[in-house]
Chain A
């Protein structure tokens, strides 16, 4: 709750709205206690007294009634009616929406078509019809305004409920023996309430206006009772001669609705999880760079990453996602980057081309040399011309990376023309050629398919074709087969292997699967808690893992053909990267931990097998490694 107020207060306008609204509500509540004149006593001798007259601070109206007093009582009434209408509409609308969304099918269809019919009438006409049927009066106006707004809530809440009703926790609740009513009240409603509050906060102002509108037309509050709308209506005939009688209630309506809407927007921003997670802050086109000394290029590699450090600055915490990574890759070589989730392998890959979202990402150290040219901190235009053209990415989920509304052909053509302005027909021919090169059958027909019309394996082929579109020299593949079935994975891996041999591609292959690394990669780097703990030729590492983490991780992976058994497990959890321990990050889970492991920085050291390891007591024999 306090977090909610903090977020709300950060939005200055919302805070102003809250303060104004608070003052208005407080005054409205206190009205009966204030020494005000009776709002309904007429005094025809004192008609149309101007504001600031003796005895009438805001003047009097056409019947000589005290305007200040009428304004206060009218505000009180208008607010009460507006809030009551909002609560009634929200309750009924949410109930209808939840029932329609939860049960779905025919129930949903019948209810929502009814709601659609209600929405087909212009709201003021509908409200007029309801008041005409029930007779004029404030209570009937309230009913009309509430009824008119029910569809808004019903549709909104239904949409959210449909999403929640298909969540696994609802299934789980069913299996726990909960009845539908219990599930709706206990599981669905708590997840819908924020949406109801958001919808209410943005519509209360609207409802106050609608009530005022009906009163203005003489269908709401009846004389002599004052509300803001009827005050405006009665003052209309004197609009030219005595404008203050109209301005006073008009200004109050303006203030109330403005304040409520500003506050409502603030409430929405603070409550909406999508906005809370930072979707409102647009990331910069390249990752922010704040680094000190730049390491000099060591040797002439195609792509070399040196001492890369990437951090995430969230509020006052610093997450060291990548803490000094060195990598190199040569043409035609496949480097495997292996690690568990949170080890920093994806952030390393994204940092290379400055694709880590900033905020919150910051590159705080190191350099990335592509053919001797430093990419970290390079101007955006230079990076843009290299992205996709020299260094291309393949991501894990092709359904998320392909645009659902364009055909795969359009997207391929766009990728080609982004770097090489070619005529469309030519680009299309090239796109078909690319689809053929990733072995998509019937490429000239498949080019006009939308992503959802393809299977996961086919989509990933399109992802690969797009990466190949501009003949890059380096491909960074971030778990490209994790979402695929094994038979499809085998197809994609052998495709990537052929491509790199035919085209001399350098591939950085990110994965968590040792089997994949063993089959595809020449060299492997194992990451743990943002650093490389072991690096070297694939064979050497897989045969004789030197770092205890590598050894244990390999032992965890079940392999086919060993029968039923107890699996090896690594006790504990990886450290959180905003509180890394001193010394070796793996020390707490390691069976060989010594006191020295927890002191100071442990560097990578060379082993006779050609691997480099970040450990002061590396495994030495095969048998020990298997423990």
Chain B
């Protein structure tokens, strides 16, 4: 299996409290060095809570944010200049909020034509044909093309967003919380559509979500993000059936599940660490029951602990969950 997307030590820092002269007052490490490989035709799920850097990571991958350091390679070719047009032909993005990602003053046809015209310089007749093909693939009626975005429900608007990403003819698609703004009954429709399209067009997905159950249902492999770093990567079945990192376990146990009694799996006052004043060593240690002296001194690095599963923890969990 070939590697479709390789990220090496990708980092993003944001200066905080800019001054007219001199260095900024502080730096937030939104994404600490992240290294990930995505194989062709694979779905990599990226899970994490708000503020863990998952959207920043996604925006760097499509060139909307220039990385502070690190490299992105697509099919072995580096993409080091942050030019979205260059990225656009290779990697596309589906936004979380389907309505606000569509310009309210343009018809759906104008929106759909943009990638064909600007990325592929396609003549008008070809554009119309291609749009019809894509619309058929995402189960949308052609009469929608002459309407405006506000006339659509969330689910339909998200199909249009997906159709636009497909029109760019990129092989890799980043799905940034594509269903979290949708109702459950519609969510399932969109997720199934995404699965169909993947087979039909031979796509590779990066599926970003805070919802573990959704990620499990669509992913081959999963990466868990905490405080800007990957803390655990592995095949979806392995990660969810036997979490190795205490944070993964906490996430899995926090999701409300029918039939499990209500209990907060950790102390009720815990909060995320302060990004301006990050803790030393492991970022999770203050919430972790297994934390020891070494956790406060040395930040754990990713190490392979089992078949395909890597975890950044000094005391990885071993027993069955």
Does B276 interact with chain A (Cβ within 8 Å)?
A: no
Distance, CA A513 to CA B257, complexed state (A):
10
Distance, CA A558 to CA B209, complexed state (A):
13
Query: Among the listed A167, A553, A567, which residue makes an inter-chain contact with B217, where contact means beta carbons less than 8 Å apart?
Result: A567
A441 x B100 contact (CB < 8 A): no
Query: In the assembled complex, how far is the CB of residue A496 from the closest CB belonging to chain B, in whole angstroms?
Result: 9
Does A552 interact with chain B (Cβ within 8 Å)?
A: yes
A486 x B262 contact (CB < 8 A): no
B192 x A567 contact (CB < 8 A): yes
Which residues on the B side are within 8 Å of A33 (C-beta)? none
Distance, CA A177 to CA B118, complexed state (A):
5
A520 touching B262 in the complex, CB below 8 Å, given contacts A169-B103, A439-B269, A556-B187? yes
| Per-position binary interface string of chain A over residues 215-250, scored 1 when its CB falls under 8 Å from any chain B CB and 0 otherwise | 000000000000000000000000000000000000
A187 touching B103 in the complex, CB below 8 Å, given contacts A489-B254, A493-B256? yes
| Per-position binary interface string of chain B over residues 220-255, scored 1 when its CB falls under 8 Å from any chain A CB and 0 otherwise | 100000000000000011001100000000111111
Does A514 interact with chain B (Cβ within 8 Å)?
A: yes
Does A176 interact with chain B (Cβ within 8 Å)?
A: yes
Which residues on the A side are within 8 Å of B257 (C-beta)? 515, 518-519, 559-560
Does A95 interact with chain B (Cβ within 8 Å)?
A: no
Does B183 interact with chain A (Cβ within 8 Å)?
A: yes
A559 touching B258 in the complex, CB below 8 Å, given contacts A486-B212, A552-B185? yes
Does A592 interact with chain B (Cβ within 8 Å)?
A: no
Distance, CA A439 to CA B236, complexed state (A):
35
A542 x B183 contact (CB < 8 A): no
Which residues on the B side are within 8 Å of A169 (C-beta)? 100-104
Query: Among the listed B93, B188, B271, which residue makes an inter-chain contact with A457, where contact means beta carbons less than 8 Å apart?
Result: B271
Scan residues 246-293 of chain B and give those whose CB is less than 8 A from a CB of chain A: 250-266, 268-272
A566 touching B100 in the complex, CB below 8 Å, given contacts A491-B264, A491-B268? no
A542 touching B258 in the complex, CB below 8 Å, given contacts A177-B118, A487-B49, A487-B250? yes
Closest B residue, CB atoms, query A193: B105
Does A568 interact with chain B (Cβ within 8 Å)?
A: yes
Query: In the assembled complex, how far is the CB of residue B225 from the closest CB belonging to chain A, in whole angstroms?
Result: 12
Does A175 interact with chain B (Cβ within 8 Å)?
A: yes
| Per-position binary interface string of chain B over residues 168-206, scored 1 when its CB falls under 8 Å from any chain A CB and 0 otherwise | 100000000000000111111101100100000000000
Query: In the assembled complex, how far is the CB of residue B16 from the closest CB belonging to chain A, in whole angstroms?
Result: 15
Distance, CA A568 to CA B189, complexed state (A):
8
Which residues on the A side are within 8 Å of B135 (C-beta)? none
Which residues on the B side are within 8 Å of A187 (C-beta)? 103, 106
What are the 4 A-B residue pairs with the smallest beta carbon separation, nearest first?
Answer: A515-B256, A177-B118, A569-B188, A519-B262
Sample 15 A-B pairs with CB under 8 A, ordered by A number: A168-B97, A171-B95, A172-B161, A173-B103, A490-B253, A493-B264, A495-B268, A518-B256, A519-B257, A559-B213, A560-B240, A560-B255, A566-B192, A569-B185, A570-B188
Which residues in A have some Cβ–Cβ distance to B below 8 Å? Answer: 167-169, 171-179, 182, 187, 190-191, 340-341, 439-441, 455-458, 485-491, 493-495, 497, 512-516, 518-520, 542, 552-554, 556-571, 573
